[in-house]
Amino acid sequence: MAVKVRRIVKLEIEIPDLGKRIKEAREADPRSVTKLAKIVGISRNYWYQLEAEAVLGGVAEDTIRKIEEVLNTDFGISFDD
């Protein structure tokens, strides 16, 4: 039997005004922050931290993609891969 070796590559990019854009998209949606956060799978507090750009260590791309899906928007984030 063989042992698999995995390399995990961490790639981060800065997105100016992402928190503001999330807030604007959320405010255009009739659902509450609590409801949106639940659908995305994050806490309401974390959602507000994202809007305030107060998330230490960055946010997972998967979370942003879920927010885009729930709010039916595209923040234009690309890692050029």
Q: Is residue 13 part of a domain?
A: no
Q: In terms of residue numbers, what domain contains 30?
A: 18-71
In a domain, 4, yes or no: no
Q: Is the pLDDT of residue 16 over 70?
A: yes
Total-model pTM: 0.86
Domains in the chain, number: 1
Strand runs labelled E in the chain: none
Q: Note the pLDDT tens digit of each residue in 20-78.
A: 999 999 999 999 999 999 999 999 999 999 999 999 888 999 999 999 999 999 999 99
Which CATH number belongs to the domain containing residue 43 in this structure? 1.10.260.40
Q: Quick check: is 34 in a domain?
A: yes
**Total length of the chain:** 81
Decide if 22 is inside a domain.
Answer: yes
81 lies in some domain: no
- Please, what's the b/e burial string for 17-33 (b: 16 or more CB within 10 A of its CB; e: otherwise)? ebbebbbebbeeeeeeb
Residue 35 counted as domain residue: yes
- Residue 30 CA neighbour count, 13 Å, CB half: 0
- Is 46 inside a domain boundary? yes
More confident residue, 6 or 39: 39
